[in-house]
Amino acid sequence: MIENRPFLNILTHLVMILGIVMIAFPIWITFVAASHDPIRMTQVPLPLLPGDQFFTNMKNTLFGRGLSGTEIAPVWLMMLNSLVMALSIAIGKIVISLLSAFAIVYFRFPFRMGFFWLIFITLMLPVEVRILPTFQVVADLGLLNSYTGLSLPLIASATATFMFRQVFLTIPDEMLESARIDGAGPMRFFWDILIPLSRTNIAALFVILFIYGWNQYLWPLLITTDTSMTTIVMSIKQMLESAEQSPEWNIIMMTALLAMLPPILVVVFMQKLFVKGLTETDK
């Protein structure tokens, strides 16, 4: 605070509250819709205050038969699929990026820069621009409708490799010298010194990558035809389509709420790590 301006202070809080209302309104409407019975959700105008059916709807959505007239997997299974996909993408990306960043920073070997540029190029090839041929590759490898097919093609990441490279470069050279004097080999140095020193970076990156993995949409949409492999994020689209015939908005919005809950919880409860991860990976 530079100077005391009571009017500006009030205005500040007013603008912030207005901003929050604007940002939160769609989520509030979703929550309200998920807490009413189906009949109320067909009467115009729709409610603005929550009803008393929240937990009934949650139970019906998670374990019920889902929407009438559609053949989709139960929601708990879709959430499980999403969780497996998000975790494999996040952990896979972190592991392979740690290893390759270690090799590039700590070893001198022929084609080192060649590998570096090869990894760098992936930055310029998001899945959206190479959809069809990547789909063909995955189909040829027989990976359709599998967790491997869902996660493996998304695992290579230039940003994570860059971030770990940056982290490793800040670690003083004396660390390696003293480790060597004490007789530690490269892998021992990696495990006992590099990994513990980059622990917070790994955690921050994990938060970002978990959200990234959980929210994947186009890739699972192409790769899964079997209903038992669908992820919760992609199921929303099918539900929106079936809403044309049977508008069970309470169930649809409850599914949407469940689909966004895990990443929101991660952001809210690991806010420090999230902000750190966001600002560091995008530099």
Contacts of other proteins in 210-239 (CB under 8 A) = 211, 214-218, 222, 233-234, 236-237
Alpha-carbon distance of 145 to 167, in angstroms, equals 37
Name the packing angle between helices 112-121 and 158-170 (round to 10°): 130
Nearer to other proteins, 73 or 252 (CB): 252
Q: In the set 26, 69, 183, 196, which binds other proteins (CB under 8 A)? A: 26
Residues in 108-147 that interact with other proteins by CB under 8 A: 108-110, 112, 115, 118-119, 121-126, 128-134, 136-138
CB of 77 to other proteins, least distance (A): 18
Whether residue 47 is preceded by a cis peptide bond, meaning omega within 30 degrees of 0, is no
The residue count for binding other proteins (CB under 8 A) is 105
At closest approach, how far in Å is the CB of 258 from other proteins? Answer: 10
79 binding other proteins? (CB under 8 A) = no
- Residue 48 or residue 55: which is nearer to other proteins going by CB? 48
Told to check if 256 binds other proteins by CB under 8 A, we report yes
Q: Is 96 in the site for other proteins (CB under 8 A)?
A: yes
Tell me if 2 contacts other proteins by CB under 8 A: yes
How far is residue 152's CA from residue 159's CA, in Å, rounded to a whole number? 16
**Token pair belonging to 250:** 């309470």
CB 239 within 8 A of CB 252: yes
Question: 3-class DSSP state for residue 242?
Answer: helix
Here the tokens at position 55 are 């937990």
| 252 lines the binding site for other proteins (CB under 8 A) | yes
**8 A C-beta contact, residue 131 and residue 217:** no
Which whole-number Å values give the CA distances from 228 to 74, 77, 81, 210, in the listed order? 8, 7, 9, 22
36: part of which helix (H) or strand (E)?
Answer: none
Kindly report the number of other CB atoms within 10 A of residue 231's CB atom.
Answer: 29
Mask for 140-179, x = binds other proteins (CB under 8 A) = ------------xx-xx----x---x--xx---x--xx--
The reply on whether position 99 binds other proteins by CB under 8 A is yes
**Does 267 contact other proteins by CB under 8 A?**
yes
Name 274's Cβ contacts closer than 8 Å, sequence gap at least 6: 204, 207, 208, 266, 267
Stretch that binds other proteins, among 63-71, 83-91, 197-205, 208-216 (CB under 8 A): 208-216
User: Is the CB of 23 or the CB of 182 nearer to other proteins?
Assistant: 23
Under the binding rule (CB under 8 A), the answer on residue 106 touching other proteins is: yes
Helix (H) or strand (E) holding 100: helix 75-106
Our finding on whether 181 is near other proteins (CB under 8 A) is: no
